[in-house]
Amino acid sequence: MTVEPEQNSHQIVVERLWKVFGNNPSVALEAGNAEKSREEIQTEFGQVVALRNVSFQVQKGETFVVMGLSGSGKSTLVRCLIRLIESTSGNIIIDDQNVTSLDEKELRDFRRSKVSMVFQNFGLLPHRNVIDNACYGLEVKGLSKKDRYERAQRMLDLVGLNGWETSKVSQLSGGMQQRVGLARALAVEPEILLLDEPFSGLDPLIRRQMRSELAILQKEIKKTLVFITHDLDEAVTVGDRIAIMRDGEIIQMGTPEEIILNPVDDFVSEFTEDVSKDRVLNASSISVTPDLICTYPADLNELKEKLDRIKPKHIAFVSESGVSLGVLMRSDIEQTSSTKELDHCLANSPDSMKSFSNVKPAIARLANSETPIPVIDSEEHLIGVITRGSILVALAE
Ligand SMILES: Nc1ncnc2c1ncn2[C@@H]1O[C@H](COP(=O)(O)OP(=O)(O)OP(=O)(O)O)[C@@H](O)[C@H]1O
Ligand SMILES: [Mg+2]
């Protein structure tokens, strides 16, 4: 179950953003031209439309992935967010601050404290050692040397580079250099992290490792991330929501499930074809409402009476506050003769699954036992149950 974000929890708001490269960019926005295709604008006026009317919002703490083929405008988009590239028209609002109207000094402060960026090619200083690279953003921030080193060290620990502080970055592998880049970006303690294909230079194995490490790290640091990739696997692993770009436009935006299960057109479905559906079906997306939910502790006789009347196949037990206590079949309960026995049954009932976890283990478990699996949120509240039936329905779709 996703909760609609509140209006004021959006940290990044982009409205009708255009970027046209060339000597006369405004011509592309003139009446009659805005509808023309990118090719037409290019042949007629020699201007390159890199972003066309792009709008989206990112919530605080969210990982927003931008995906698209080479040349679709991904880098232009993130660079516009911190004005490494000036947009042609449109609004960029970050924490209620209109980024496009910041003066030079405000822009410097904004880049120093609010947002940092990890570039595809690391962008490290080759003659400096690891910790001095990680410190880099802190020098311009005016921290004391002791504070700089302390903070950089914490970030190096966080990205798993403890022990490498004094190594030259040129002696590190690509994966390790990218960790230095990540530590450097995190050291300034930005609220927002922009990652432009951070893992694209790495070999597939390291890439997969870095990607899952980032997902774990994100649980800890809870930054707002804008993550660019052209790898769908990556997008699905790290993204809360994904925007798909083509020729400078966002053509679809949604959760990984929404995009893979309901692609808007052939382009998106071709893009997403390779990801098997069981990977994006997570526990919550295939869970269903339990036959009966019962608050526990409860009077055993009353409970049995209720079961007689309603005849549910299974019963989910929750505490007063909604915390899942387990799921039992009706026959399990009918065979018990005391609350103590019932406690024992509950204690031995199948483990629950977190809402975002993969469905594959559930399939294996339900092959061996008929008892549904409770699905819980991060606070262990019951969201629903996975039954044999709900898995079959999901797979059939
Ligand atoms: N400085 C520039 N001058 C002219 N055209 C540019 C400039 N920078 C980018 N472009 C054009 O804008 C379009 C979008 O480029 P961009 O770099 O944003 O794409 P991308 O999606 O990041 O691609 P990739 O996956 O290859 O990094 C491309 O057609 C590109 O040629
Ligand atoms: Mg790019």
pLDDT tens track for 225-265: 999 998 887 888 788 999 999 999 999 999 887 888 788 98
Cα end-to-end distance, the chain, whole Å: 19
pLDDT at 6: 47
| Residues sharing a CB contact under 8 Å with residue 40, sequence separation 6 or more, in sequence order | none
Closest by alpha carbon to 68, among 277, 279, 234? 234
Mutate to test the pocket of ligand 1, among 19, 20, 21 (most ligand atoms within 8 A of CB): 21
Cα angle, residue 234 at apex, residues 231 and 237 outer, rounded to 5°: 150
Rounded to the nearest whole angstrom, what is the distance from the C-alpha of residue 247 to the centroid of ligand 1? Answer: 10
314-318 and 115-118 strand pairing: unpaired
Is 90 exceeded by the pLDDT of residue 136? Answer: no
pLDDT band at 85 (very low <50, low <70, confident <90, very high): very high
Q: What is the mean pLDDT of the chain?
A: 87
Atom of ligand 1 nearest to the CA of 120: 27
Helix locations, the chain, DSSP H: 38-45, 74-81, 104-113, 130-139, 145-158, 174-187, 204-221, 232-238, 256-261, 266-272, 277-280, 300-310, 330-334, 339-347, 360-368, 388-396
Residue 170 has pLDDT above 80, yes or no: yes
From the CB of 22, is ligand 1 less than 6 Å away? no
Q: Does ligand 1 come within 6 angstroms of the Cβ of 21?
A: yes
Cα separation, 193 vs 45, whole angstroms = 36
Percent of the chain residues past pLDDT 70, beyond the cut: 95
- How many residues would you count in the chain? 397
Paired tokens of 201: 């230079």
d(CA 247, CA 63): 23
Q: Per-residue pLDDT for 360 more than 90?
A: no
The pTM assigned to this predicted structure is 0.70
Ligand nearest to the CA of 245: 1
pLDDT band at 210 (very low <50, low <70, confident <90, very high): confident
- The closest residue, in CA terms, to atom 29 on ligand 1 is 71
Report the C-alpha gap between 275 and 234 in whole angstroms: 11
**Ligand 1 atom, smallest distance to 77 CA:** 18
Residue with tokens 């679709």: 72
Q: Above 80 in pLDDT, residue 216?
A: no
Lowest average pLDDT, out of 81-90, 155-164, 299-308, goes to 155-164
Kindly tell me if the per-residue pLDDT of 99 is higher than 90: yes
Exposed / middle / buried, residue 388 (Cβ in 10 Å: 0-12, 13-18, 19+): middle
The full set of domains in the chain, from first to last, is 7-114+190-280 (3.40.50.300), 284-396 (3.10.580.10)
In the block, which residue shows the tokens 């805005």?
A: 34
Q: Which pLDDT belongs to residue 319?
A: 92
Distance CA 267, CA 394 (A): 24
* pLDDT at residue number 5: 44
> Under 8 Å CB-to-CB from 143, ≥6 apart: which residues?
151
User: Is residue 87 predicted with pLDDT exceeding 80?
Assistant: yes
Q: How far is the CA of 50 from the centre of ligand 1 (A)?
A: 6
Distance in angstroms (rounded) separating the CA atoms of residues 227 and 219: 15
Q: Which atom of ligand 1 is nearest to the CA of 248?
A: 14
Mutational test site, ligand 1, from 76, 226, 249, max ligand atoms within 8 Å of CB: 76
d(CA 122, CA 102): 27
